[in-house]
Amino acid sequence: MHKKSVLRRSFFSFTVLAVGLMCSILYQTVDVFDDKSRVIKKIPTTHKVVAITVDDGPHYKTTPEILMVLKEKQAKATFFVLGKNAEVHPEIVAQTVAEGHEIASHAYSHRRLNRLTDAEVVDELERLELVLQPVAPKPTLFRPPDGAYNDGIVALARERGYTTVLWSVDTGDWRQLPVERVVKAVLDNVQPGSIILMHDGQYPLPTPQAMSIIIDKLRAQGYQLVTVSELLQYYEVSR
């Protein structure tokens, strides 16, 4: 009986390990382009250019605060908006566009797309497009919620004209870390071609204050801040 339970327990640990390994393979991304799924995490470039990206908004308090910081610093960012939030605050999306930032797709409802059928994935993309239609140009970039994707999702997104974009610098701002920790996460990890992940889907967040400091520090290091679409123009193929 005892032996049996040990066996059962070790079988259980083995299963947990195997599932964990499979998940990490599933979510693994290569540094730049994953040739099979064409997912962008950062750009190989010798130019000191980086893109700040902001996910999950618009939020009626956090997003205007971020827009204020970006205006003050005359910097551009890319907003991966959520359809259900853009639907409630189309005026904030319109303001974001008017102030020269890029609007990109984070799908409609933040469901994990790898758990959905193809038809449901397409619906998630289309519903956001319909919400954005009156207030923003059709987005060309797509970031799957929680970074959860597979080849099928990337292919479906590509068919609808999207390049799938993840990130290379995770600030952890959504966990409401202190401002200094968010700033440090960027300064410790930034490289030419980095894509920085920040958020505006809740309130309060350290994001507006941290972003203001990050922009100053990056510029002091000679970095230029661009949108993700602009960043793609700096892609250099090594020979």
Q: Is residue 34 flagged as an active site residue?
A: no
49 vs 198 by CB, closer to Zn ion:
198
Q: Which two tokens stand for residue 35?
A: 């040739």
Element (H or E) spanning 199, and its range? Answer: strand 195-199
Kindly identify the residues of this chain, within the stretch 12-71, that bind Zn ion according to CB under 5 A.
55-56
Q: What is the CA radius of gyration of the chain?
A: 19
Q: Which of 55, 56, 173, 200 is catalytic?
A: 55
Q: How far apart are CA 81 and CA 144, in angstroms?
A: 11
Q: Which of 59, 89, 110, 199 is catalytic?
A: 199
Q: Which two tokens stand for residue 109?
A: 């409802």
Binding mask 116-155 vs Zn ion (x if CB under 5 A, - otherwise)? -----------------------------x----------
83 vs 145 by CB, closer to Zn ion:
145
Tell the smallest beta-carbon distance from residue 168 to Zn ion (Å): 16
Please classify residue 10 by burial: count the beta carbons closer than 10 Å to its beta carbon, then call 0-12 exposed, 13-18 middle and 19+ buried: exposed
Are residues 162 and 142 in contact, defined by beta-carbon separation less than 8 angstroms?
A: yes
Tell the smallest beta-carbon distance from residue 106 to Zn ion (Å): 6
Q: Does the footprint of Zn ion cover residue 200 (CB under 5 A)?
A: no
Q: Which two tokens stand for residue 134?
A: 């009156």
Residues lying near Zn ion in the complex (CB under 5 A) are found at: 55-56, 145
Active site residues: 55, 199
